[in-house]
Amino acid sequence: MRNDCHICRAEGFTANSRVTIELRGRQLIATLNVVEQYVLPRNHIGFSKVAAERLGIAYGDSIRVKHGPVLLSLSALRKKIYGNELNEAEIRSIIVDISTHRYSDIEIASFLSACAGHRLSAEEIIFLTRAMVNCGEKLSWQGHEKVFDKHCIGGLPGNRTTPLVVAIVSAAGLIIPKTSSRSITSPAGTADAMETLTRIELGLDEIQKVISHTGACLVWGGAVNLSPVDEVLIRVERALDLDGEGQLIASVLSKKIAAGSTHVLIDIPVGETAKIRTQADAERLAALFTEVGSALGLAVRCVISDGTKPVGSGIGPAEEMRDVLAVLQNKRSAPKDLRQRALFLAAQLLDFARGKGIDEALSLATSLLSSGRAWQQFQHIIDVQGERKELPMAKHQDIQYALQSGIVYDIDNRRLSRLAKLAGAPGEACAGLRLHVNVGNKVEQGQPLFTLFTASLGERDYALSYYRDNFDMFEIGD
Amino acid sequence: MRNDCHICRAEGFTANSRVTIELRGRQLIATLNVVEQYVLPRNHIGFSKVAAERLGIAYGDSIRVKHGPVLLSLSALRKKIYGNELNEAEIRSIIVDISTHRYSDIEIASFLSACAGHRLSAEEIIFLTRAMVNCGEKLSWQGHEKVFDKHCIGGLPGNRTTPLVVAIVSAAGLIIPKTSSRSITSPAGTADAMETLTRIELGLDEIQKVISHTGACLVWGGAVNLSPVDEVLIRVERALDLDGEGQLIASVLSKKIAAGSTHVLIDIPVGETAKIRTQADAERLAALFTEVGSALGLAVRCVISDGTKPVGSGIGPAEEMRDVLAVLQNKRSAPKDLRQRALFLAAQLLDFARGKGIDEALSLATSLLSSGRAWQQFQHIIDVQGERKELPMAKHQDIQYALQSGIVYDIDNRRLSRLAKLAGAPGEACAGLRLHVNVGNKVEQGQPLFTLFTASLGERDYALSYYRDNFDMFEIGD
């Protein structure tokens, strides 16, 4: 609004006031920006695109502006900030207010920070999960007693096992309607990677159709309004580069429950520079996942996996998808570690479903992959989902070379992820990097370490300048 | 920037990107808002007023825009969010980045929320205080061995003792260069109240002059750049209605140390609806204040006072000042409780200075106030500071009446403060309310409880509608 607006004067609004906008019975709560007089004509109000869409407003509409409501849930938020435990009604009140867009970004940031670390009890996480489920749609899969899902809590660059696992286990007859999220803090989420290849924004009816044809799908969860409050939280989590434990569990399980899953496999990679750093933290997280899932009627199996080094060679949406396709097509160039991890996880899911032991499950998974049946199944899924696209290629490719000879003792996952993000991933699907070495390899001075992929010179220069300051993210020694 | 801006495309900027702006060797870090093409001409960038001032930019200047820096202190912030203790270098790095405006509001909100509750150790509070002191100016008072100050940690509506205490103890010869802040979460701070009467934005030279003439001043601390990072934090704390323990101590003591104080009296009111709710919390806070002060070379004395009910009758900048003037002028209408509290605190300071016992100090304070010498001293101070203004009167005055007869058992300080704030305080100096009853009084149905003061009808209606939903903030019973 203009700085000389009579409504601001009459109502006592100032910059950053929270205001309620009313149009034809619809309401929106917004943060007020005050602008100079030449920015807007008299008696006009400017809206952000999101706000205009949410309110369905068009140029020339008359609206009513009044003080924002006093949000009672902010007392509960303060109680949590001060370290007290919240009851179910309090957590529900916060989540309802966030899901109806009543919180400003700084209030959301405060909520996330107050809940991060180990500051949510198991009971609070259960309340949070249930509140998040109840804010959105719920899917149900009539006629299917067991509905499967898998989730990796992330932190390992390149670890794109989901499309492989879904193809393998659905080829074996399991129902696995996989809804994935976009990246929160990593260079790519499964949704970002799948989007380089096919349509991922499917509606509920379309998903039902894909499942009835193939038993599986690989779509973006955000398009189907499952636990939609999670998207609001993730936007601020991403800006803070933050992914708290309780929030993480509620985010994952609320989406699984809303998606109608009954059996979920959680992969927790552990490593010094992975998201989870110690075996003890991983066990704690696994126990919490199982406890919260069980309280909400969900069977959860957790596996703790090696998170000490990147998986596969590609990092970033398109480059990770290239690795996935190589594994499905049994190419000689396919990364062995990615293939092995996918088979291990598929076997866990098959055993979870059939209970005939992990050896039998592993040999079934391997035969489905090696025989090309998983690849056929994958093509079937993306064809029913929609188009099949060519993977994009980056405009700029820059090879970086080893500065010394020796053994690669370690690669810092966090800094490697940051490098891929600075290169433009996941916003630019083609951006990222491709490793030419991994931990344990011997390298000669001048040998290629990785290729950087960027879509613009600005991003290339920015990423390379970060790498020059952080070339020790590759620890090479005698 | 425009949504079709070639720089955004080339650099990969999107909405909420953090960017660095360079102009003639000056730098600024900002959050990018992306606007439709009709809002700005091609090749133009719009700035907020604050950003334009900080950068010294004028229409037609050419600037450079690039990616914001990777802030290393964000790792320290995440470490704190995850519940770990920070060392001095880590805390300094966060405070330096905040003081140079490198943090976005959501990052500041995250920092404040992660530090709230009891989540800063005594050592961390010492580091934080020192880092805050080092970000701004430091005053020194040559020739004065002892320099006094007082601070009330707030939470009690109407408790405006500071102008009274400063007048009394400086009339007794103590040096007390009082720099106050504006309200953080209350309907008025001492700076807001003093501003209704006189000039409070004095520079360093002017403050030195006032002190050399009178031994005291009553000015706004923000104008003299003492611990300026505190103002940045307070802006977000206010939006969150949050005032954490460690942050509180660092905020108060950093300003006292930067102001060159050697002896500080801290008043901690305790009551169920005051900022501090229990005697145990107050004692814990007092011990922390003393420990942190001592580590930084400051003598701190804490007094724990009654915080069960509002003090005085006026709430809001002008109404509180009206009470202060009545006490100084020994008017019959002067609130007795405000007078008593001021005398008690003045006596504590006089005893702190002279060590002759509290009884002797109390009788000295009483005689200075009763004889009119404190009132003379107060007038002297505001005359040397600048103009003497008439207190503003609110345009709208609405009396609210008791709905039943009985005894006022309790008044909810928090909701009473909120009511005064909804009426427009402290933004509107004349806004607030005047109590006609206090806890312990007997009232008849239809007797006036309070008068609401507002500057606009919008604020009046909003405040009254809140009161109608919360009339039980006055607990009246048999």
Q: Which residue of A has its CA nearest to B68?
A: A462
Decide: residue A478, CB within 10 A, 0-12 exposed, 13-18 middle, 19+ buried: exposed
Find chain B residues with C-beta within 8 A of A428's C-beta: 12
Same domain, yes or no, for B406 and B374?
no
Distance from the Cα of B178 to chain A's closest Cα (Å) equals 29
Nearest neighbour of A81 by CB, restricted to B117, B422, B458: B117
Nearest to A107 among B82, B118, B240 (CB): B240
Contact (CB<8Å) A104/B239: yes
Q: Is the pLDDT of residue B162 over 70?
A: yes
DSSP B110: H
In this predicted structure, the answer to whether residue B208 has a pLDDT above a threshold of 80 is yes
- DSSP per-residue string spanning B176-189: EEEEEPPPSSSS--
Which pLDDT tens digits describe chain A residue by residue (478 residues)? Answer: 998 887 776 666 777 788 999 999 898 999 898 888 888 888 899 998 888 988 999 989 999 998 888 888 999 999 999 889 999 999 999 999 999 999 999 999 999 999 988 889 999 999 999 999 999 988 889 889 999 999 998 778 888 999 999 999 999 999 999 998 888 778 999 999 999 999 999 998 999 999 999 999 999 987 788 888 988 898 888 788 777 789 999 999 999 999 999 999 999 999 887 888 899 999 999 999 999 999 999 999 999 999 988 899 999 999 999 999 999 999 999 999 999 999 999 999 999 999 999 999 999 999 999 999 999 999 999 999 998 999 999 999 999 999 999 999 999 988 999 899 989 999 899 999 999 999 999 999 999 999 999 999 988 998 999 899 999 999 998 8
Spot the catalytic one: A243, A323, A337, A410. Answer: A243
Task: Report angle CA B145, B147, B151 to the nearest 5 degrees.
Answer: 160
Tell if the CB–CB gap between B81 and A116 is shorter than 8 Å. Answer: yes
Asked whether B211 and B192 are in contact (CB, 8 A), the reply is: no
B249 and B192 inside one domain:
yes
pLDDT at res. B5:
80
Query: A462 with A331, same domain?
Result: no
Taking CA–CA distances from A36, the nearest residue in chain B reads B49
CATH number at residue A31: 2.40.40
Residue in chain B nearest A66 by alpha carbon: B458
A9: nearest CA partner in chain B: B456
Distance to chain A for B163, nearest Cα, Å: 28
CA–CA distances in Å: residue B149 to residues B24, B253, B329: 42, 10, 23
Q: How much is the ipTM here? A: 0.75
Q: What is the pLDDT of residue A169?
A: 98
Give B227's DSSP letter. Answer: S
Give how far Cα B431 sits from Cα of B319, B401, B423, Å: 8, 19, 6
Q: How far is CA A112 from CA A107, A284, B201, in A?
A: 9, 20, 37
Assess whether A284 and A381 both reside in one domain. Answer: yes
**Phi, psi (rounded to 5 degrees) for B402:** -65, 135
Which of B12, B113, B456 lies at the smallest CB-CB distance from A459?
Answer: B12
Does residue B258 lie within any of the structural domains? Answer: yes
Q: Is the pLDDT of residue B9 over 70?
A: no
- For chain B, the distance separating the N- and C-terminal CA atoms, rounded to the nearest angstrom, is 64
- Give Cβ neighbours of residue B461 (< 8 Å, ≥ 6 apart): none
The pLDDT of residue A220 is 92
Contacts of B117 in chain A (CB under 8 A): 81-83
Which residue range forms the structural domain that includes residue B445? 396-477
Q: Which of B89-93, B170-174, B178-182 is the least confident region?
A: B178-182
Looking at residue B108, what DSSP letter applies? H
**DSSP state string for B358-397:** HHHHHHHHHHHHHTTHHHHHHHHHHHHHS-BPPPP--SEE
Mutate to test the interface with A, among B49, B81, B119, B276 (most CBs of A within 10 A): B81
Interface test with A, best of B106, B183, B459 (most A CBs within 10 A): B106
Please provide residue A456's backbone torsions phi and psi, each rounded to the nearest 5 degrees: -140, 155
**B239 and A16 in contact by Cβ < 8 A?**
yes
Predicted confidence at residue A432, as pLDDT, reads 96
Q: How far apart are CA B453 and CA B442, in angstroms?
A: 24
Of A323, A356, A385, which residue sits at a domain end?
A385
Domain match, A247 and A361 both = yes
Asked if residue B33 is part of any domain, the answer here is: yes
Tokens at A353, concatenated: 């479903």
Establish if A438 belongs to a structural domain. Answer: yes
Compute CA distances B287 → B301, B304, B349, whole Å.
Answer: 10, 11, 18
Of B36, B82, B427, the CB nearest to A117: B82
Do the Cβ atoms of B111 and B77 come closer than 8 Å? yes
- Contact between A210 and A381 (Cβ < 8 Å): yes
Residue from B110, B275, B456 whose CB has the most chain A CBs within 10 Å, to mutate: B110
Q: How far is CA A51 from CA A23, A71, A182, B252, B331, in A?
A: 12, 19, 22, 39, 55
Phi-psi domain of B224 (left: phi exceeds 0; alpha: psi -120 through 50; beta: other): alpha
Q: Judge: A241–B78 Cβ closer than 8 Å, yes or no.
A: yes
**Is there a domain that residue A326 lies in?**
yes
* DSSP helix/strand/coil, A2: strand
Q: Please, which residues bridge with residue A106 across strands?
A: none
Please check whether residues A274 and A403 belong to one and the same domain: no
- pLDDT(B122) > 90: yes
Q: Which of the residues of B are catalytic?
A: 243
Residues on chain B touching A16 (C-beta within 8 angstroms): 239
A301 SS3 class: strand
Same-domain pairing of A266 and A211 = yes
In this structure, the dihedral spanned by the alpha carbons of residues B434, B435, B436 and B438, taken in order and rounded to 10 degrees, is -160
With residue B146 as reference, give the H or E element that holds it: none
Least confident among A129-143, A202-216, B12-26, B435-449 = B12-26
Asked whether residue B235 is assigned to any structural domain, the reply reads no
Which of A187-191, B226-230, B345-349 bottoms out in mean pLDDT, i.e. has the lowest? B226-230
Chain position carrying tokens 């399980």: A253
CATH code at B294?
A: 3.40.1030.10
The answer to which of A6-15, A396-405, B106-115, B464-473 has the lowest mean pLDDT is A6-15
Flag whether pLDDT at B10 surpasses 70: no
Integer Cα distance of B115 and B61 in angstroms: 41
Structure tokens at B177: 């260069």
B284 in a domain, yes or no? yes
Chain B residues in contact with A103 (beta carbon < 8 A) = none
Give the residue-averaged pLDDT of B235-239: 84
Nearest CA in chain A to B17: A239
The mean pLDDT of chain B is: 92
Q: What is the pLDDT of residue A348?
A: 97
Alpha-carbon distance B377 to nearest alpha carbon in chain A (angstroms): 36
How far A197 CA sits from the closest chain B CA (Å)?
Answer: 22
CATH code for position B123: 1.20.970.10
Residues of A in contact with B418 (CB under 8 A): 70
Chain B hits for A12, Cβ within 8 Å: 424, 427-428, 455-456, 458-459
Nearest to B462 among A67, A242, A466 (CB): A67
Classified as helix, coil or strand, B263 is: strand
**Is B232 inside a domain boundary?**
no
DSSP secondary structure code for residue A475 in this structure: E
| B171 and B300 inside one domain | yes
Same domain assignment for residues A168 and A251: yes
Region B365-385 average pLDDT: 97
Pick from B316, B318, B357, B320: nearest CA to B342: B320
The residue of chain B nearest to residue A38, with distances taken between CA atoms, is B39
**CB-based burial of residue B404 (10 Å sphere; 0-12 exposed, 13-18 middle, 19+ buried)?**
exposed
Helix residue ranges, H only, A12-87: 49-55, 73-81
Cβ neighbours of A205 (radius 10 Å): 8
Residues of B in contact with A114 (CB under 8 A): 113-114, 116
Residue A234 lies in a domain: no
Q: What is the CATH number of the domain that holds A435?
A: 3.90.1170.30
Domain end among B134, B159, B180:
B134
Q: How many distinct structural domains can be found in chain B?
A: 4
Per-residue pLDDT tens over the stretch B55-68: 999 989 999 998 88
A196 lies in the same domain as A278: yes
- Residues of A whose CB is below 8 A from B473: none
A378 and A410 assigned to the same domain: no
What is the mean pLDDT of the segment spanning B169-180?
96
> pLDDT-derived band of residue B93, with 50, 70 and 90 as boundaries?
very high
CA dihedral A462, A465, A469, A474 (to 10 degrees): 90
Among candidate residues A70, A94, A296, A322, the one with its CA nearest the CA of residue A196: A322
**CB within 8 Å: A456 and B9:** yes
What backbone phi and psi angles, to 5 degrees, belong to B276? -105, 130
Residues B456 and B378 in one domain: no
The last residue of one of the domains, among A46, A67, A88, is A67
* Shortest CA gap A125–chain B (Å): 17
Higher pLDDT, B139 or A194: A194
Residue B67: its chain A contacts at CB < 8 A? 458, 462
Find which of A19, A44, A106 to mutate to test the B interface (most B CBs within 10 Å of its CB).
A106
Rounded distance between C-alpha atoms, residue A55 and residue A57, angstroms: 5
Q: Which of A246-250, B128-132, B430-434 has the weakest average pLDDT?
A: A246-250
For helices A317-328 and A336-354, the axis angle rounded to 10 degrees is 70
